[in-house]
Amino acid sequence: MPRYLIYAQDQFGTPASKTGNSVIRYSAGHVAAVLDSTRAGRTSEEILGYGGSIPVVSSLDEGARHGADSLLVGIAVAAGGLPAALRDVIRRSLELGLDVWNGLHGFVSDDPELAAIANRTGATIHDVRRPPADLPVGSGRVRELDQTVLLAVGTDANIGKMTVMLQLRTGLRERGVRAGFAPTGQTGIFIESWGVCVDAVVADFIAGASEAVTIQAARDNDIILVEGQGSILHPGYSGVSLGLLHGSLPHGLIACHQPSRATFRHNAWLRIPPLKDVIALHEAIANPLRPVRTIGVSLNTADLSDRDARAIIERTAEETGLPTTDPVRYDITPLADAVVAFDRERRATAASPSGRPSAARRATTA
């Protein structure tokens, strides 16, 4: 695993450093320091409220002295290439022999000068949005796994699908379950140091990429938590979301929703349908490929009062008949318990004489 120096110049603690913040929240042990000279000398805890003593530093050298072996570039930049200042930081990182983990649309390894420096110093460039070569077309290969597969889906993009799965992994591990996370977007990839940005592959390969990630996450795990993307009703991203659903072929869904959100992200013309309808639609379009059940609901209530948040959680649980929580603000317990019960029930059914054991299970017991 890498030890990151997170590039957040001029913006650590602002919404623009969201990606880096998530890496600190879910992978603090792999963050050596944060680079932001305007906040140098403080700690992550002081600025974000989490991340403990991870220091904010003012230079690459200082980051390296804190043990960083990789520069993480996860900030949002305007389209159209690397800003000069950032390119300069990347160049000097590579000269120091630091690996670069880059989430920008522009690929560092396509820059001949930067690629040559990396080649000379032995640094590795990870352009995490670059699709792997030789992706297959999706063909339902996840059916061959014995593991329980869960996917986070949502009423909209950017609503907490990655977060609930990472919280769920923690909750499941605390319960002694071998649960693995399958990263399908840049932040998830930074956190895990592997994965595929399924929205960055050629359209024909969305399901194939989702299959590949799910199968890789199965190794040494009994439950696979697949990071969701977008929404099957989002006007821009629905294709990615459906390819991910049909590629990962989940047994169970975690439905994510933000109660205060009325319209789709960047699409104010389009109202978000009721959560119950969105859940039913996911099941209707997943079921023909593999029977699926929605296990629980994850609400993002960050912008509500505690009282309103608790009320909406209760009402949602009543309306959907599903365990419901805000896994960041409150407690993952309702979802973690529901997943454990779901997994147990599924395996009991699969193993019973009336159930159809999977090929993998048959092979193991043969």
| Residues at the site binding its own copies, with contacts judged by CB under 8 A | 137-140, 143, 198-208, 232-244, 246-247, 266-267, 269-270, 273, 277, 281, 284-285, 288-289
For residue 267, the minimal CB distance to its own copies (Å) is: 6
What lies within 8 Å, CB to CB, of 263 at 6+ separation is: 269, 270, 271, 272
Q: Which residue, 112 or 288, is less far from its own copies as judged by CB?
A: 288
Min dist. Cβ of residue 137 to its own copies (A): 4
Nearest distance from C-beta of residue 282 to its own copies, angstroms: 10
CA distance 182 to 150: 10
Q: Which is nearer to its own copies, 29 or 355 (CB)?
A: 355
DSSP of 146-165: -SEEEEEEESSSSSSHHHHH
Q: How far apart are CA 214 and CA 227, in angstroms?
A: 10
- The region that residue 32 occupies, defined by phi over 0 for left and psi between -120 and 50 for alpha, beta otherwise, is alpha
In this complex, which beta carbon is closest to its own copies, that of residue 54 or of residue 128?
128
Nearer to its own copies by Cβ, of 122 and 269: the residue is: 269
In the numeric block, the tokens 């880096």 are attached to 20
Give the nearest distance from C-beta 127 to its own copies in angstroms: 14
**Least separation, in Å, of the C-beta of 232 and its own copies?**
7
Q: In which residue are the tokens 């396509």 written?
A: 110
From the list 128, 119, 116, 115, the residue with the least C-alpha distance to 2 is 128
Rounded to the nearest whole angstrom, what is the least distance from the CB of residue 13 to its own copies in the complex? Answer: 28
In Å, how far are 87, 95, 104, 125, 131 from 111, measured between CA atoms?
10, 14, 13, 11, 17
Torsion-angle region of residue 41: left (phi > 0), alpha (psi -120 to 50) or beta? Answer: left
Specify which residues 266 forms β-bridges with: none
Partnered with residue 102 across adjacent β-strands are 73, 127
CB nearer its own copies, residue 111 or residue 199: 199
Q: Compare residues 34 and 245 and give the one whose CB is closer to its own copies.
A: 245
What residues form DSSP beta bridges with 125?
100
Give the 3-state secondary structure of 125-146.
EEECCCCCCCCCCCCCHHHHCC
| Closer residue to its own copies, CB minimum distance, 39 or 282 | 282
Which two three-digit tokens encode residue 91?
């160049």
Cβ closest to its own copies, residue 138 vs residue 334: 138
Minimum CB–partner distance for residue 330 and its own copies (Å): 30
State in angstroms the smallest separation of the CB of 304 from its own copies. 24
